[in-house]
Structure 1
């Protein structure tokens, strides 16, 4: 800022000396400033206007009796009612109070209708969603659901719609005010049960598994032989990283903890050419352009573990969970409690935890008897197929089979409607049709197995378990009502997509694990690891799925604890194929190590474990870095010296962690960017830990050689040396000359961005909706899993979306924390009031009993039946 010189005249003096015309102009400027102040005050009022009433009394049509909504100091609602219908109706009403714009935005996403709100820039996303048909599948699920689930979905929708009927759009969300000012004439449509079901498809997309890996294996093989590509996807090391279930097998279709089994596979890699490569490259780029709200399907994971009473200071189990998802503002979860005043056949719910705005019930948490948590099982439930198309048919085994055709119209704000022609083979929709450039991907894609003619085209289809109607919504509410292991497993049997690892604990002292979900059984020609040739039926799915009773599960293991962190579920002797693209187990191994060291854990020790930020790759790599001698000057030695005394942990204020991660980023760049296409440059996560660990043992591996340098063959130490030098220069440029002034948190910042208006590019709107610049520790492949992508920068790309620890001995001693806050209104104090606590590693008390809820209560809203008149 330029300060005014001391001798400068005052504003009053200038006005006295100024000609009348200038003085009048100054008065006008002052009036404009006053007008701006008034406008800002009006804007503040508009921002505050949608913040809901949380105290007093409101009518809610359809209620049978009064419902209480007690909120604590963080706005977390606990709902009390006399019937399940009233609970669900009130839950819908409360969710709409806090988060309706988010709900509305999500349903536009899942229905492929974003263009109606935001114009032609989002047409591509709408095309992908319409092509996959998420909303259509959600509507088909309705008939499959249990009557009680349909009742819950209907009551929830009635509660949402009652709130909409009571409020104008500008009273529902400030986003509607802003969209109205931009010229959009819009009023939210009534909420429908299918809107709730469709959001489960979005979560399945976020957790879909290895679809991008299928493409990446092909792209990595363009300039590298198969054996070198295989080095980029090392086999899972079960000796170093124990699977979730360490014994058992399938006997007569039923998984038994003490049995064994085995199976074989016959992999076959399809032939590809330049046109197919271009198609896959463009498809991957298109998928990467899908909204962040929907997740990337990779680079994410979760931690959960459960310990029995012998390993708990309370004498009963403790259960911990922290799902890792893409970051957003508001976050994906709402904390909420659903309480029947008296349990009966009409009122069956007594659950508390984390729910999705727009979906009835508690998704993760506990009821009066059991607790449960999720991590991504990551089975291979998606396959891309290269398809041979002839006119209105697709070819398989030399026969022409009619394509399934449908036409949809996308309405576009400020533009002409777009007609979308959607084609499907027996495998699934042709995703490549979304891009005009991919409607024909080459005439020489055929292999000797095809009967290609000159008029044939080639396309890419997607087969995915989520594109068929399932009963996952039944599972959510059944979990809320389960009271023991058998009822928990019965609920899990309906959990079709996304397939999850489910951990369990109950007040009787039992702990358990169940792998649920639809996991396809493939014919032997298709391993699911690369796009398959759709013109050969040998590559098809069989049409059957791994039977639920055959999926791995365990009750009360001898170890006394269960750890799931996306590692392999079970060893290779398991007779069914789940996937080969597991997380490589570094987080799981670290958690097991800490559990074994602690022996007996308290709630506080469980929360501390969730915050562990030790980097498992550092212990392997740092000794090699320290062996590099004579960096040339004290300037470069300063960085290396930080590593000599580093304990391998990554708190936000660590200078050594900053240097190490910049070295790691540069090592990956120097080793792989010159040999791999940009689309598959390393993100630096757990798979790359395994890849580089192997390469470090081979100092002359061809991967170390920089292909851009002629007549020079680089070795491992050449690359390590250059990475150390480049990291020192990079940190000097980014942060400071002195290493003591470096910090990992200044590099590794977490931005929480609003999924729509927060991406507008309009500064004041982004300021209003986003909450950016949080300095955090942790990192990729670490228990405190704040992931980052080494190919893009150091900022956080995914993080724990919440954290919870449940005490089965006393639910009121449990602890939880949300990434943001319960409110979706930027004018609310609860929009992000948990974020700083989250960043600092703090937790909130988790009141469950009526006494604890009342004691913590700040506001009480009574919802009353609407007057019949």
Structure 2
């Protein structure tokens, strides 16, 4: 018997060794090709791909079509699974890859019917753009086929990758609209509910057009409206049950948006302008962007290209960076790019438009689930767009959303590749097929400019902030002409700063609308740094500004906490003397090793959430899930209340504002004690702000996260300082570019170039990003050379 047990154990060990060895062989086999010669059908001439020590490719092609084909090959070799998730996410086809767990996600995306729309939009593109996408798709499929084994993710999922199609690139483009716009116009619904349940004085106060924290490019910061008086809104007169429950964690407190700045040649050493940008996104593995240098020989001005910056795997062009003559950077615009249309009906149940009944069409959308199951979703389409599933009892809404409209998904941003100066860049960006972005531009002749990049609808009036009845005049009336776009060219001060907060006023603001602008404190701090910088401004100076961690906003909250600790109510709190003494050394810097910053920040968040919970109690009484997501400017009102301390706007379960503020701190300190920390000084900001940058499949098997995820570590930075940083959110890249002097320009990004965990380039750029280090934009000396032949 023991002999048989021994044999079975030996067999089990042998099988484990064989399986492990086979898995290792397959993993190594799926590594991308960096050296030698490979055949790439369809090329007009050979393409040379050189990689530097970080794996950054320089793709040298004879024509733009060859460049697109080779870029597809490189993207597929390094990042195919990422591309696959992006196209499936855009189309609502993730369940076919990962199974039933993704079915709710696919159902939510089904109403947009992006797969069918992408096929139609392909036919609308100019022939040259279609040719480019077909060439890119051919390159992707060749790159995928040229791997000796399929990407490792498909081994884990026990499936096979499907070929890339030209329309898939449009799905990748569509996926960015989900990330950067309000895809269901939910903010409009929340605002309507807030206004219906509260007096005008409250919602004017919570959602003001201007705040003292603003730092716009056009216009000035403004004073807050007065809070509602006690005879208009008194929390003490409301039912006590309305204030119970756990306050919602307001999402925008955890991070929002991006930074960019531009400095004209009048303020640099060589007379060239400078632009810097860091796009803040959810952080995952691999990183959103793929660095590249893309070159076509400069035989003449029309064919030569030398592009440096970031590409998006799935698309064949540069997203942001430099063409050697101009450089550009983006921050999200947070305009109103989606609208809810409240459907009105006649006595026969017909949906009414401004001129009478309108057609409503049903489409059967099929969702495939891995394993063979198929689910069918009925999608109702109106002239405005799809009918949204009901949020709760109430009238039906249709959605008017930018990427659903013909003409929006295009490749017009590629005109930036050949822009000679500011005017060319403005023309290329206005109307480009990207989610509308706030764009800063710098040129090698020393000029700078700002505009909105992306298609903007022409409206009969201001961008609506609330649902619009279907019987109202058509909300969008074509596209805004380029010369009508908001623009700032050659500003007198020679400096521009954008950080997702309000940038304009008046007519320009009415055109863009407020789709949830970021709170202005970060933009204000960045402008302060740029305006106070000693001339000449160098790339290293701009990078240091991007890495700044001083919080003027939290400094204001620390003053509120000091006042509460000086109140007699503090005498009953054992921790109060230590915290009060510590505040004498307060620096308001979001440093990973600072315990006081963590304490003040957690207290601020809890205070904000509880104040908003109380102020919106009547809304929640009617809509229990209501929370003030999408209204970052409300932070100004909460701070104002904490300073003014009006009794009628205090949660009635507390006797005074100091008692309330101290009770919130009690909760923060108690929560620490419950997790094993007996002293608030034992935990620093980095304990709460710890990087969690994960691969989407890292939880599939025990221990896999060690292979796939970036190392966990404490990081400096926060949501309202230039160095935006949260556990899973932050700068997806940082760059500082002087067009015409790319050799002195800087760049880094989290993670590495490759999506393969056994690649030397899976993590090798990560440390520079963590340390906000000065690393060059241009690739270094080549260490590997791959020749692609027709």
Q: Offset at 1:750?
A: 2.3
Match of 2:133 in 1: 153
Match of 1:717 in 2: 658
- Taking the aligned partners of 2:308 and 2:656, their CA distance within structure 1 comes to 56
Match of 1:653 in 2: 593
2:729 corresponds to which of 778, 798, 817:
798
- Taking the aligned partners of 2:650 and 2:699, their CA distance within structure 1 comes to 39
Query: Residues 714 and 839 from structure 1, CA distance in 2 versus in 1: closer, same or farther, beyond 3 angstroms?
Result: farther
Query: Residues 487 and 727 from structure 1, CA distance in 2 versus in 1: closer, same or farther, beyond 3 angstroms?
Result: same
- Report SS of the residue matched to 2:572: coil
Query: Residues 221 and 415 from structure 1, CA distance in 2 versus in 1: closer, same or farther, beyond 3 angstroms?
Result: farther
Match of 2:386 in 1: 429
- Taking the aligned partners of 1:205 and 1:179, their CA distance within structure 2 comes to 25
2:155 corresponds to which of 174, 177, 193:
177
Q: Is the 8 A contact 1:317 1:807 kept in 2?
A: yes
**1:676-728 deviation line (CA, Å, top 9, x unaligned):** 5474546798434312122124312533224xx3xxx5432222111222222
**Is 1:548 aligned to 2:482, yes or no?**
yes
Q: Show the 5 A alignment for 1:12-411.
A: 25=5, 29=9, 32=12, 36-37=16-17, 39-167=19-147, 171-180=149-158, 184=159, 186-189=160-163, 191-209=164-182, 211-220=185-194, 224-237=198-211, 240-246=213-219, 300-344=256-300, 347-388=303-344, 393-396=350-353, 399-411=356-368
1:774 corresponds to which of 713, 716, 726:
713
**Is 1:840 aligned to 2:771, yes or no?**
yes
- Taking the aligned partners of 1:732 and 1:354, their CA distance within structure 2 comes to 45
**1:568-602 deviation line (CA, Å, top 9, x unaligned):** 23122548432134223222211111112213222
- Taking the aligned partners of 1:529 and 1:297, their CA distance within structure 2 comes to 22
Q: Is the 8 A contact 1:640 1:724 kept in 2?
A: no
Query: Residues 669 and 588 from structure 1, CA distance in 2 versus in 1: closer, same or farther, beyond 3 angstroms?
Result: closer
Match of 2:497 in 1: 563
- Taking the aligned partners of 1:92 and 1:571, their CA distance within structure 2 comes to 42
Query: Residues 799 and 784 from structure 1, CA distance in 2 versus in 1: closer, same or farther, beyond 3 angstroms?
Result: same
Match of 1:591 in 2: 526
**Is 1:643 aligned to 2:583, yes or no?**
yes
- Report SS of the residue matched to 2:181: coil
- Report SS of the residue matched to 1:861: strand
Q: Offset at 1:810?
A: 2.0
Query: Residues 322 and 765 from structure 1, CA distance in 2 versus in 1: closer, same or farther, beyond 3 angstroms?
Result: same
Q: Offset at 1:123?
A: 2.3
Query: Residues 475 and 521 from structure 1, CA distance in 2 versus in 1: closer, same or farther, beyond 3 angstroms?
Result: closer
Query: Residues 330 and 680 from structure 1, CA distance in 2 versus in 1: closer, same or farther, beyond 3 angstroms?
Result: farther
Query: Residues 108 and 669 from structure 1, CA distance in 2 versus in 1: closer, same or farther, beyond 3 angstroms?
Result: closer
Query: Residues 500 and 427 from structure 1, CA distance in 2 versus in 1: closer, same or farther, beyond 3 angstroms?
Result: same
**Is 1:572 aligned to 2:506, yes or no?**
yes
Q: Is the 8 A contact 1:626 1:643 kept in 2?
A: yes
Q: Offset at 1:223?
A: 5.6
- Report SS of the residue matched to 2:786: strand
Query: Residues 53 and 174 from structure 1, CA distance in 2 versus in 1: closer, same or farther, beyond 3 angstroms?
Result: same
Q: Offset at 1:105?
A: 2.0
- Taking the aligned partners of 2:360 and 2:173, their CA distance within structure 1 comes to 28
Q: Offset at 1:150?
A: 2.3
Query: Residues 687 and 576 from structure 1, CA distance in 2 versus in 1: closer, same or farther, beyond 3 angstroms?
Result: closer
2:687 corresponds to which of 746, 771, 775:
746
Q: Offset at 1:75?
A: 0.7
**Is 1:687 aligned to 2:633, yes or no?**
yes
Q: Is the 8 A contact 1:243 1:568 kept in 2?
A: yes
Q: Is the 8 A contact 1:638 1:739 kept in 2?
A: no
2:415 corresponds to which of 478, 482, 486:
478
Query: Residues 23 and 416 from structure 1, CA distance in 2 versus in 1: closer, same or farther, beyond 3 angstroms?
Result: closer
Query: Residues 739 and 321 from structure 1, CA distance in 2 versus in 1: closer, same or farther, beyond 3 angstroms?
Result: same
Q: Offset at 1:215?
A: 2.7
The count of residues paired between Structure 1 and Structure 2 equals 748
Query: Residues 846 and 704 from structure 1, CA distance in 2 versus in 1: closer, same or farther, beyond 3 angstroms?
Result: same
Match of 1:610 in 2: 546
- Report SS of the residue matched to 1:822: coil
**Is 1:817 aligned to 2:754, yes or no?**
no
Match of 2:436 in 1: 499
Q: Is the 8 A contact 1:383 1:532 kept in 2?
A: yes
Match of 1:667 in 2: 607
Quick check: 468-477 or 603-612, which moved more?
A: 468-477
- Taking the aligned partners of 2:102 and 2:57, their CA distance within structure 1 comes to 35
CA RMSD, aligned part only? 3.0
- Report SS of the residue matched to 2:477: strand
- Report SS of the residue matched to 2:396: strand
5+ residue gaps, structure 1, are: 1-20, 248-284, 289-294, 446-457, 788-795, 848-852
- Taking the aligned partners of 1:680 and 1:523, their CA distance within structure 2 comes to 31
**1:291-342 deviation line (CA, Å, top 9, x unaligned):** xxxx999953111111012222443222100011112111110000101233
Q: Offset at 1:362?
A: 0.8
Q: Is the 8 A contact 2:83 2:172 kept in 1?
A: no
Q: Is the 8 A contact 2:410 2:433 kept in 1?
A: no
Q: Is the 8 A contact 1:379 1:519 kept in 2?
A: no
Quick check: 505-514 or 723-732, which moved more?
A: 723-732
- Report SS of the residue matched to 1:844: coil
- Taking the aligned partners of 1:618 and 1:57, their CA distance within structure 2 comes to 57
Quick check: 496-505 or 124-133, which moved more?
A: 124-133
Query: Residues 392 and 117 from structure 1, CA distance in 2 versus in 1: closer, same or farther, beyond 3 angstroms?
Result: farther
**1:199-255 deviation line (CA, Å, top 9, x unaligned):** 111112211149232232245457644432333212223x652322359xxxxxxxx
Q: Offset at 1:605?
A: 1.3
5+ residue gaps, structure 2, are: 221-247
**1:433-475 deviation line (CA, Å, top 9, x unaligned):** 7xxxx7xx65xx5xxxxxxxxxxxx422211121112255432
Q: Is the 8 A contact 1:119 1:415 kept in 2?
A: no
Match of 1:830 in 2: 761
- Taking the aligned partners of 2:383 and 2:689, their CA distance within structure 1 comes to 45
Query: TM-score, normalized by length of structure 2?
Result: 0.88
